[in-house]
Structure 1
Amino acid sequence: MERSSIYVGRGNELQLLRRYADQPNQLGFGAAYNHFTKWLGFRSHHDAGQTMALAAYGTGQYDQVTVFSSAAKDFECLLRPPVLPSGDAPEPSGPLDEYDLEAARVLQAEAVRDLIHEQLGIDIGPGLQSCENPTPLQFEVAWLIQMQLQRALTALVRAAVAETGIRRVCLAGGVALNCVANTIIAELDDVEDLFVQPAASDVGQSLGNALWAHHRRPENERIWRMPTCSLGRTYTDAEIDAATRRWADRISVESIDDTAAVGARLLSQQEIIGWFDGGSEFGPRGLGRRGILADPRTPDSKERLDAVHKLRAPFRPYAPSILADEVEAWFSIDTRFTRTAAQAMASMLVAPAVRPEKRRLVPSITFVDGTARLQAVTHQENPRYYQLIRAFDDITGVPIVLNTSFNASGDPIVETPDDAIESMLKMRLDALLIGRYLIRAR
C-alpha cells in the first residue's frame, strides 16, 4: 500500500527510491494529520486546511510530543492505528481512515489522546464535537501536528536530496496542499526548485491517469508541461447571454467595455464581487478565473466575507493575489525564494511572511502570524486578472486584491455562467463580473 514514497525522475523514467508506512498497521503523514483533525472536532479529512490555520494560534505547549520518528530510512508514525470492533465481520486490512466511517472518528481521536498521554502524562480528553469556537487547547493540539509534520517532511526532503544529489523537488498528495510546510521546504538551502501539482490531492489522479494513458502510445512524446491549471472549458458570449436571460427576473445586467477597470473601481469602493473569466481551474483553488474578490486594505472585507458571504470561521485566513513583479516588495522573501518557489507561488501553495511595514496596509489578508498564502499573478498566465490588479494598484497604490474561491459554504467552485449567477445571489455579493457584463441582484 502506497502512502509516502520517494521517486527519482531522470529523463522519461521514474524509479522508486524508498517507501514508508506501506504496511496495514501503519499511518502515513496524511492519515496522522487526519487523526488530529478529527480530535479537533472536524468531521472530514477535507478540513485539514482548518487544522493548519488553527496551528498558527498555538504557542508550542506540546513541543515535547513526538508524532513521527526520524524521517530518514526508519521513518515511522508513532500513532497507533485504531481497530474498529467488527463483530463477526472480518477486520479491515488497513487503518480506519481509509474507510471513511463516521464510527472511526471517535477511535481516531482516541489514538491522539493516548499518544499525548503516554509521552507527557497529560490527558487532553476525548475528541471534541466541534471547532466552531476553538479553545486554547485546540490551538495547541493543532500546533503540535502541524509542527511535527513540518519537521518530518523537511527531514525527509533533506535526506532524499542528500542521497540522490537532486535538488529539484516535486510534491504530490493531499499533504502537499499544506502551504506552510511547503514554504519551509522552499526555504531549504538543499532545494533549488520546488514544484507542487496544483491539484495535489487524490483528485489529481485523474490528470495522472490521463497522462499515463497518453504515454502508453509509443507515438506520443513523453513531455507535458503545466503552465497553467486553467484546464476547464471557456464559455462563449452567447452562452453567457443565454444565462443572463434565464435569470432576467432576478438580476440587472449592464454592458461594460473594460471588466478589469470596472472591477478595480468596485474593489476600491469596498464592494465584494464575483469574478468569472476564462476556463475553470483544476484543483481546490480559485486562481483568478473563478474568484470572489475584495479590497485587502480594510478588515471589513474579511469580516463581511466571514459573516455574510462565505460563512467561514473567523480563525481562517483569506489569500492575496499579487502582481508577480511586486512580490519581493510586499513579502519577506528574497530572489532565491522567488525563483525556487515560482510555480508554488503561482498556485497559492506557499505562505511566506508579509513584510512587517506592509501588514497594516493589507489587514484582511495578513494572518495572525503575519503570513499570507499568496498567489503571484503574471500577465502571461492570466492577462485579464493581472490587468485588474494593476488597475487596482493604480487607484490605491496596493498591487494586491483579496481572492477566495467562488463558492458558497459547502458548494463546489462555480463552473458555468448559471452557477456564477446563482452563487452571486445565494451569497449576496455586491456584483458579478462575467464576460462583458456587470451583474447585480435586483
Structure 2
Amino acid sequence: MYPLFAFGHIIPFIHLANKLAEKGHRVTFLLPKKAKKQLEPLNLSPDRIVFDPLTLPPVDGLPDGAETTADIKTPTGNVISDAMDLLRGDIEAKVRSLKPDLIFFDFTDWVPEMARELGVKSVSYQIVSAACLAMALAPGAELESPTPSDYPSSKVALRGYDANIYSKTINSHKTFLRRINTGLKNCDVISVRTCAEVEGKYCSFVERKCQRKVYLTGPMFPEPQEKSAKQLEDQWYQWLDRFERGSVVFCTFGTQFYFDKEQFQELCLGMEQTGLPFLVAVKPPKGSSTIQEALPEGFEERVRGRGVVWGEWVDQPLILSHQSVGCFVNHCGSGSLWESLFSDCQIVFIPQAADCVLTTRLLSDELQVSVTVQREDSGSFSKESLRDAVKSVMDKDSEIGNLVKRNHKTLKETLVSPGLLSGYADKFVEALENEVNNTKSS
C-alpha cells in the first residue's frame, strides 16, 4: 500500500489493511518514517501488517523534516506528491523483492505502469467521494466547459465561480484531479471508500467512463468492538458532561488545514454569537505559534465556561459520540464526511478545497442532510454567516433544521442496518481474492 502521505488518506488505508489481515492476507504498508510510531496503535494485526517507513527526498517547497501534508502550513502546489514521485525507484525495488499480488495507491498515478512492468495488479483505492471521482472524469473538472450530458447531477459539480471562491486550492486540485483521472484509467482495479446508498449514481458514472466494474468498500470504519476499549479523555468528558443533551457545537477542520488569522477570528466570533456551548479544535492559524495569541481581544473572558478553542489533537469520533454534542461543524473531508453521517449531530459544512465542495453539495444540496455556511465573493465567510448556519439547524423550530435532521436520521438508519457495512467490506475482499486467483489461473 502506497497512499498519499496525508493522515486523512493513510488512516483509511490502514483500516482496509486491517480488514485484509483479518481475512488472512499479508500487507506491506509504505508510510512516512516519522508517522510510523503515531500510527502503530491503528495496526490491529502487526504479525500480518508490516509498516515499512520511507523518508521523503527534498523538493522545492517542502520544509526540512516535513513528511505529511500536516507538516506544511503554507503548501505550494502538491509538494508531498512531488516528493513521493521521486521514490519510484525505491518502490520498484521493494515490489521486485516482495513480489506482491496487488499494490494499492491513490494519487501516485505512475503505479499502474510500474506494476504492469513488474507483473503486479494495481488497485486505485480512492478515499475521496465518488462525486469527486466523477468530476475528475468529466470535462467540467477544469471549470472551462460544461459537464457531459450523462453526468449524474447539475447540483454536484464545480462551477465557474468556484475558481474565484476557492482560488487558493483550485489550481492544486486540478493537478490532483488529473492524477486521479490517470490512475483510474490505467489501473487494473478501481475501488472507492463509499457505498451505493449515498453515491450510487456517481459510482455508475465512473464505471461507464472507465468501462470497468467499480468495487465499493463502504466507509471502512473500525468495527465497534475495536473502539469499545477507548474512552474519551477525562478533560473532555468532564467538560462536555456539564451541558444539556445535544446542545454543544463541535468544530474541527482536519490535520492539514490552517486558517488565515482573520478567518480564524471570524470562526471564533461566529461560535460566540451562536450563544451555544462550543468546542473548536483547529491548528493555530498561519503566522501564529499558539491558539491563544490569535484569539480575538476579550474572547476568552466572554466565552469562559461555555466555549473552548483548542490547538491540539482531539479524538473526534469519541467527542461526536458524547450525548451533549448536537452539531458538527467541519470541512467535509473524507473522514469527517462519514463521521458526520454516522453521528446523531446536525451537520454544518465549511468546505476548504474543491473535493470538499463537491461532497458538500452532495450532502447539502442533493441529499439535504446538512447545511453549508455561505461565503462572500472573495471566498471568505463571516461570523454572521457561520452563526446563522449553526442556528438554522440548532433552533428547534427551524424548518431547515428539522428537514436535515429527518433526512440525516433516515440515511443513518440505512447505513447502520445490520450487515450493511461488514457486507461491503467482505464482498470487496472477496472480489480482490477473485482478481488474484483469476490472474494466477491464467
Q: Return the TM-score normalized by structure 2.
A: 0.27
Greater radius of gyration (CA): 1
Structure with higher helix content:
2
Q: Return the TM-score normalized by structure 1.
A: 0.27
